[in-house]
Amino acid sequence: MRKRITPLQKEWDKLEKQEAAYLQKRRKKTDSKLNQLLEEKVPANLQKTLDSAFSKAFYLVFEKGTGIIEKTYKREDLEKNYQINEFAAQVRGNRKSLKEFSKRAMGAGNVNLLISGVSGVGLGVLGIGLPDIVLFTGLMLKSIYEIALNYGFDYQKEEEKCFILLLIQGALSYGNDLERINIEVNHYITNGSYDKNVDVESCIKETAGCLSKELLYMKFLQGIPIVGAAGGVQDAIYMRQVVKYTEMKYRRRFYETLLHIE
């Protein structure tokens, strides 16, 4: 007799296909014509400056900014909503109740996308590029925190900070780098530990380097008054990538938990 496929297994299979499509789409990076035009105009030391700026932003947010971020949403309400949705999923056991988690998580991420786009364009019009980094980093972490809470996960432990930083790296990487990071992320999701020794300091350094490399041309453009608005728009584009990858991985982590319960 053929074994019945549960709604959870169907959602898991759907997620596996989504992840495969995501990896395939980002197998190779193609630089835009704008990036090619800006390549010779970007100062040689800008990437080093961006590395430092992003590193400082992560340290600042992790050490002093999390409490401020939590004032922008009601953490207790999100935790209660998760508990209600989890109970409903266990009682009903259908795909609709499982999809509710993703719906809420993406809803929170989309609000932050809007904020990121508006602030990026506004600062770009004024020719403000580098100071935007702290705001961009804060909004990026805010999005991840809200997605995590919607799936019932905390974000304050050291190993969780490394997980979050790996998610950001994965969202902004391509090809072999993405494959490597994705394997590491999935290893943590499945085993609750990393395949190698990691610490927050090294994770911050690697993530800052990933961000500075990916956002190099846009942050340069954003520093030019008026024209910089085009660079500011990119904040929302990169934020969308982070939200998409993060939601997939927290959904995978949530499904893993449910599969172990079944």
Please tell me which residue, 53 or 25, carries the higher pLDDT value: 25
* Alpha-helical segments (H) within the chain: 7-25, 33-38, 46-60, 66-70, 75-92, 95-125, 132-150, 158-171, 175-191, 200-222, 228-261
- Is the pLDDT reported for residue 16 higher than 80? yes
> Residue 175 CB: number of other CB atoms within 10 A?
12
pLDDT at 32: 56
d(CA 48, CA 60): 18
d(CA 203, CA 119): 27
- Among 44-53, 113-122, 140-149, the range scoring the smallest mean pLDDT is 113-122
pLDDT at 163: 96
Length of the chain: 262
pLDDT at 164: 96
- pLDDT tens digits, one per residue of 51-106: 888 898 899 889 888 888 888 787 888 888 888 777 667 757 677 777 777 777 76
Q: If pLDDT is split at 50, 70 and 90, which confidence band does 39 have?
A: low
d(CA 151, CA 32): 35
**Local structure of residue 2 (DSSP, 8 states):** P
Residues 169, 233: contact at Cβ < 8 Å?
A: no
Residues 165, 58: contact at Cβ < 8 Å?
A: yes
pLDDT at 222: 54
- Among 76-80, 144-148, 176-180, 188-192, the range scoring the smallest mean pLDDT is 76-80
> Residue 128 CB: number of other CB atoms within 10 A?
18
